[in-house]
Amino acid sequence: AQSVTQLDSQVPVFEEAPVELRCNYSSSVSVYLFWYVQYPNQGLQLLLKYLSGSTLVESINGFEAEFNKSQTSFHLRKPSVHISDTAEYFCAVSDPNAGNMLTFGGGTRLMVKP
Amino acid sequence: NAGVTQTPKFQVLKTGQSMTLQCAQDMNHEYMSWYRQDPGMGLRLIHYSVGAGITDQGEVPNGYNVSRSTTEDFPLRLLSAAPSQTSVYFCASSKGNTYNEQFFGPGTRLTVL
């Protein structure tokens, strides 16, 4: 069975500071990895994904994540956060035993302070 | 395109009542799914469908039924509501395999008293 662990439930950070949201997964098979973002009172939106190829993937709003197979991690980073980045972030893996539906981590609430 | 729509936005039920959460998408996506979101637990898969007439169970299917008679609609039925089903429910759809982006609806917040 797949599982995803997000090590921090909340991450407070000041505006323009760097941030890292940690994600570890376990799986006995190759998986696809995703980060989704949920702004307050909204549904989830895809932020970025790793399918294959380059282990560093980037989003259009400055986030990046690196797939590390040996450490089974997919940490999300941003060098300088904005107030508008305040949201909950979910790491997820595809589950080949469930039609490749997603198994999510518990979420990390990023709180950017002025 | 409206994307993925869900109704109602909010619902309060009494224990033992039944209801149907509606989900529709207008993107001609084959894959649809239902998740529930609980604090600290992320989203957990309830049921999913890879096409009209095909459904399967996810991680937490007990107490819920689904059907997929059309590509567009994927309703979730609560047979006899229990307080443990108090949650926020999200419907999602994707084109083909789910390594493609899943599009989520705005959610239904359900309280069972």
User: Is A101 in contact with B48 (Cβ distance < 8 A)?
Assistant: yes
- Overall average pLDDT of the B97-108 stretch: 82
Query: Whole-angstrom Cα distance, residue B25 to residue B104?
Result: 10
Residues of B in contact with A100 (CB under 8 A): 97-99
C-alpha dist (Å) from residue B37 to A57, A68, A90, B90: 27, 27, 11, 8
A46 touches B at CB < 8 Å:
yes
Q: Is the pLDDT of residue B98 over 60?
A: no
Q: Is the pLDDT of residue A1 over 80?
A: no
- Residue B97 binned pLDDT confidence (cut-offs 50, 70, 90): low
